[in-house]
Amino acid sequence: MTELDHTHDGSARSWVRSAGPMSDFPLQNLPLSVFKPAGAEGAFRGGIAIGDRILDLAALSDGSLLKGLAAQAARAASQPSLNALLGMGRPAWRALRHGVFALLRDDAPAGARLACETCLVPRAGAQHALPVVIGDYTDFYTSVDHALNIGRLYRPDDPLSANFRWMPIAYHGRVSSIGLSGERIRRPRGQWLAPGATTPVYGPSQRLDYELELGIYIGTGNTLGEPIGVADADGHAFGLCLLNDWSARDIQRWESTPLGPFQAKNFATTLSPWIVTMEALAPYRLPWCRAANEPQPLAHLDAEPVRQRGAFDVQLEVLLETAADRARGGAPQRLSATSFRHQYWSIAQMIAHHTAGGCNLRAGDLLGSGTVSGPGAAEAGALIELARGGVAPLALENGETRSFLADGDAVILKGWCHKPGYARIGFGECRGEILASDAPARSSPAS
């Protein structure tokens, strides 16, 4: 697991003045994406966020500011996708982080600073693409609070499936419909069975929902047939992003017997553009623990390093901007807030279990954490939980109510880490807006 080093020093500062310790992207963060400057033509390339600027890795690679493995990593990251960098492994990831940290800190040599300044472009208005070519996408179900909240709606006497406490449950999702923050999503159509009916109907979903999740990008993979041990699994994760797993609950309930989600999920998944590396998150690790009265993990999912530092304290929140809010210039309303530390299964356990049967993960594969819900009533990561399946609509501050999402609603996910002595590590935002089912589908670039 990543150890703390000088790049986590909370007192370190950058000469990029907008990269203060309470910004989303201070010197200690250095998240990666692929981008083009506002109005620019040509190919996307890798970049690192620092305050309100992006360090263009293609421009940086043209010079001699980085040496050795750091220079090799920067060249790999200057392509239209970050897959090559992810496949290089942790020594290269760390070398790039350390090299860029040295160039951007406020005591960098004057000549290096001047040369580096020419590689910075404004973050405002930049166009982004998916940061990696995602080969496979797996969505997990790892929050016990979310599972209990959903189970109590439909099976109040037996809300949790017998296998939940024994393994991280998951299903394979659809890569082709993964998009970026800023996209506008047409309300899906599908088939569902109304309460009390015997014949299903087909039409626009009436129970459209969001799911607050983290996305986990795989760095180095494994050979087919050779599982990744849980003690080593963290070394295969490159970084995290925000993920909204949009869900049509009416379609989902009807189609999920016996095989699970299909059309209820495959119409859209939205990601934030920036990957916050596992290196940046090192100060925010926590012990992962299982209560004594709960089943303890089987051997392939249990290891002392996971118990000591397997959890992450990532703060998360969901905001809703209705069409009426947008028309009058009102601020989005917070619907809920929680922390990833409550998750029943850890990232290492998800990776280990994914490969336990011999499945091979590859650089750029994406895992969804599953909905992140906490134990409190205001910590639910989906509208179906907050509105109790639609029977208790939420009263919004603008006088509207919501049981499920309406056309024109924009859902905004945010995430960050912060504690005394360390810089705030932000994830930016993940935004998606719902269009009517018959509206032209349109996408907007993230910024």
Of 98, 128, 146, 354, catalytic: 146
Sign of CA dihedral 66, 68, 69, 75: positive
Tens of pLDDT along 84-113? 999 999 999 999 999 999 999 999 999 999
Written out in words, the top-level CATH class of the domain with range 6-129 is mainly beta
- DSSP structure string for 199-229: S-EEEE-SSEE--EEEEEEE-S---TT-PPP
Q: What is the CATH number of domain 137-435?
A: 3.90.850.10
Tens of pLDDT along 14-65? 999 999 988 999 999 999 999 999 988 899 999 999 999 999 999 999 999 9
- DSSP structure string for 152-173: HHH-TTS-S-TTTTTS-EEEE-
* Distance between CA atoms of residues 372 and 145, nearest Å: 8
Residue 447 scores a pLDDT above 60: no
H or E element at residue 309: helix 304-309
pLDDT value, residue 442? 55
Task: List for the chain the helix, strand, coil content (%; round to 5).
Answer: 25, 25, 50
3-state SS class at 311? strand
Q: How far is CA 98 from CA 33, 82, 92, 117, 423, in A?
A: 17, 18, 10, 18, 16
* Distance between CA atoms of residues 79 and 230, nearest Å: 31
pLDDT value, residue 441? 64
Percent of the chain with pLDDT strictly greater than 90: 94
Fill in the DSSP letter of residue 124.
T
pLDDT value, residue 48? 98
351, 354, 356, 357 alpha-carbon torsion, rounded to 10°: -160
Residue 128 known to be catalytic: no
3-state SS class at 349? helix
* Distance between CA atoms of residues 246 and 259, nearest Å: 19
For the chain, residues classed under CATH 2.30.30.230 are: 6-129
pLDDT value, residue 272? 98
